[in-house]
Amino acid sequence: MALDAWDIYERLSTLDSDSLSDAQRDLVSVCDLRQEVNSGGFDVYFCAWGGNSSPIAIHALPLLISPEWGALLLEAVRLFGDPYPSGPDERFDYIEAHGLSQALGELDTRFYALESATDADGLLNAHVNAHPAAWA
């Protein structure tokens, strides 16, 4: 029976991230990004706990989906300057203080175009099925 990346994500996302392997954290971070941005845009992603894993997702996206996805998230994270705010409240305050809503909205449009042009679910499923031991 084929493994499903979203089924694995549902199971792993309930666990403490410190208990996950690197491969598991990579998958969770990518699914967090896709779920949150598709639910309301980058502002929702960054203002929720999912945005905490964006540094992991930047690394994981080129491996699991494509380099363009990682570059887009890196561009979004760079809007926050250095250091990247570690918590949702800090990121919300930064978005408000620096008027990032329009810039994040433009990145949303580009993200949705990538979603439309890419079979991200297919790529994630191919990845999890190529490495079944990582999800046990």
Going by C-alpha positions, the residue among 37, 70, 71 that lies closest to residue 51 is 37
> In terms of C-beta distances under 8 Å and separation of at least 24 residues, what long-range contacts does 103-111 make, across chains too?
103/79, 104/41, 104/42, 104/43, 104/46, 104/76, 104/79, 105/41, 105/43, 107/42, 107/72, 107/75, 107/76, 108/37, 108/41, 108/42, 110/72, 111/37, 111/42, 111/72
Task: Provide CB contacts within 8 A for 104, sequence distance 6+.
Answer: 41, 42, 43, 46, 76, 79, 95
Question: What pLDDT score does 19 carry?
Answer: 95
Going by C-alpha positions, the residue among 21, 25, 2 that lies closest to residue 13 is 25
Domain extent listing, the chain: 5-11+21-135
Going by C-alpha positions, the residue among 56, 58, 37, 59 that lies closest to residue 48 is 37
Per-residue pLDDT 10s for the chain (136 aa) are: 899 999 999 999 999 999 999 999 999 999 999 999 999 999 999 999 889 999 999 999 999 999 999 999 999 999 999 999 989 999 999 999 999 999 999 999 999 999 999 999 999 999 999 999 999 8
